[in-house]
Structures are given as structure tokens and as C-alpha cells.
Amino acid sequence: MSQSPVDLSFYQTLLESTKAIPWQFEWGPQRFSYIGPQIETLLGWPQASWQSTEDWAERIHPEDRQRAVEYCSEQSLQGQDHELDYRALTADGGYVWIRDVVHVVRDGEQITALMGFMFDISEQKKQEQQLRLMNQQLEQMNQQLKRISSLDGLTGIPNRRMFDQSLENEWRRCLREDAPLSLLLIDVDRFRDYNSYYGHLIGDSCLKQIALVTQMVAKRSSDLAARYSGEEFAVILPKTDSAEAGQVAQDLLYRVEQLAMPHGDGKPNSVVTVSIGVATLMPDAETTCADLVVKADEQLYLAKSHGGNRLFSEGRFWKTAQQLDAGLGDFLSRGG
């Protein structure tokens, strides 16, 4: 049983009943031969007003116009089917996101027409924008969490985790660049007695002030001051030799005593002080950053065992804070 031929108007009615907007553009005269009536519902421009290339181009958002026109022209001239997204201006001054799907009609090597469909993708673009914003917010939250996880909750300076990572990184960098790496380990003298006498709130305040001082002496962007443990702090000094590290330690020793925080241990004019161990190594294949920590800890032990409020470097005693007042200017000049 043969089928009766179908009137072409059936297909036209079918196409015009969908949300996809069919169109056809004649390549020779550069004019639209057809565009679906849905265009007026979507954009507000009368169906009959779509005549030339200019009618299409002028109704593209100015920020998208050049890109859309150049891309469509380039792909069409190459005979390539293509699609592009752009914002189409509406008659009332707004815009709608359009996806234009284009088929190039050829007669042999000759382009005769372009035909395709316009789709309203505004909702899709809205969802994409919301997704981008959500991803940006998540990234910001991740960065914030990462930052928080690397800081000490009490003092706000880098914590032990950040210290360990930074020391490992700086060790590798100094190894590559054949440069010395120095480390200061700092311990608050008789802090348990201080905490017992004043209580934990005042003790916490004391640690916060000392943390600020350690940040002050870590002057370069590559230097790092961190809270190492309870009342211990550390300062990493890349590309710093033993003499320079000793000067930084002297600066720190002096500044802490100048805070003039009363200790309350019963001794006249007693204030909070620190002991500092200074170590310097030239990284090589036979050593690790753990060796630097051990060496600094040994120097810190010597400083504390000799009464505190002093620093030791390479087994050598350096001046106490009280002896530094006169010559402080000699070592405060170290900077970026």
C-alpha cells in the first residue's frame, strides 16, 4: 500500500510548533528566506523584520557581536557546520542567550544557503553561572580552610604543620641553590611558673605577644615564624649564614625582654625572657632538615641550662639581652 505524499505545510506547522526556531539564509543575496514565527515571541522583533545579515548582527549583544559574526563567517566560508552561543538583544532592551546551530548547504563546491535552528539556552546559562559562583565560593572556602589549618589557633601565626612543610621546602630550595639554611628554636623561660602564677588567660596573652615579636624579626618574605609547640617558637631563615642568624636571634632576645612583661617569680624586676638555640647547615645529600632541628634543639638546651635569657649558636654563648642595649643598632639593619 503506497503512502500519500505529505504536504510541505505539515513540516512547517510541525517546526513552528516547537521551541526551536528554524531559519534559512540564502548565501547569494545574503538575505533570510525564512525564520520561524517563534522569534517574535522570544525576542520581540517582528518575523518580517529579519531580512539581512545586518538585521541578525545588530541584534547580537555588543560584547558578543564581533566574535559571533567572525566565527560564523569563517566556519561558513570553510563549509563547516557549526554552532555558537551568544546573547541576542530583545526589542525591549534585554537579552536572551541563544545557541545557533548552523548547517551549510552546498551545491558541489558552491555554498548556496545556511539553515539551522535557534535555541533559547538562557536557563542553561543561568545554571552554568550559578554553578560557577558555587565553585568560586567552594574554592574560597577551601582556601580559607587551608589557611586556617596552617595557622596556630591561639597566636594566629603559622603552626607546627606549616613549619614542617616550610622547613622541608626551604631545605630543598637551599640544596638546589647551594645556600645555607638557618633555624632558631625559641623557648619561653620558666613559662610553667608564669602560667601557674598568673593563670592561663595571662599566659595566653604572653604567648601572643612573643609570637608577634617572632614575626617582627622574620622580616623577609622567605622567612617564617611559627609556633613550634606549647611555649616554643621557631624561625626559619633561608639563605642565612650563622652570623646573620645570630644577629636575628639577638634582635629577638632583646625585643622580648623590652616587652617588660612582669614574671612574678619573686625576683626583683624580673620579666619574661626567652632562650634561643641557633643552627645553620649547608644542605647536602648526606643531611636532612631533621638534622637542622636536632642541632638547633641542642643549642636551645645549652641556652636554657646556662640560665636562660640568652642564645647559643654552634656551642658558643652570645650576649644576654641585658648586654645588648648599647649595640642593638648593629644588627637591627637586616631586612628584605
Interacting residues of 73 by C-beta distance below 8 A, sequence separation 6+ = none
User: Distance (Å, rounded) from C-alpha 89 to C-alpha 62?
Assistant: 9
Interacting residues of 277 by C-beta distance below 8 A, sequence separation 6+ = 184, 185, 296, 297, 298, 299, 300, 301, 302, 303, 311, 312, 313
User: Distance (Å, rounded) from C-alpha 335 to C-alpha 218?
Assistant: 9
Cβ–Cβ < 8 Å for 38, 16: yes
Active-site entry in 231, 232, 244, 314: 231
For the question of residue 231 being annotated catalytic, the response is yes
User: Collapsing DSSP states into helix, strand and coil, what is residue 57?
Assistant: helix
User: Distance (Å, rounded) from C-alpha 46 to C-alpha 91?
Assistant: 9
| Sequence letter at residue 7 | D
User: Collapsing DSSP states into helix, strand and coil, what is residue 32?
Assistant: strand
**Strand locations in the chain (E):** 21-26, 31-35, 82-89, 95-107, 110-120, 181-188, 224-227, 232-238, 274-281, 311-313, 316-317
Question: Using the 8-state DSSP alphabet, how is residue 262 labeled?
Answer: B
Catalytic machinery residues: 231
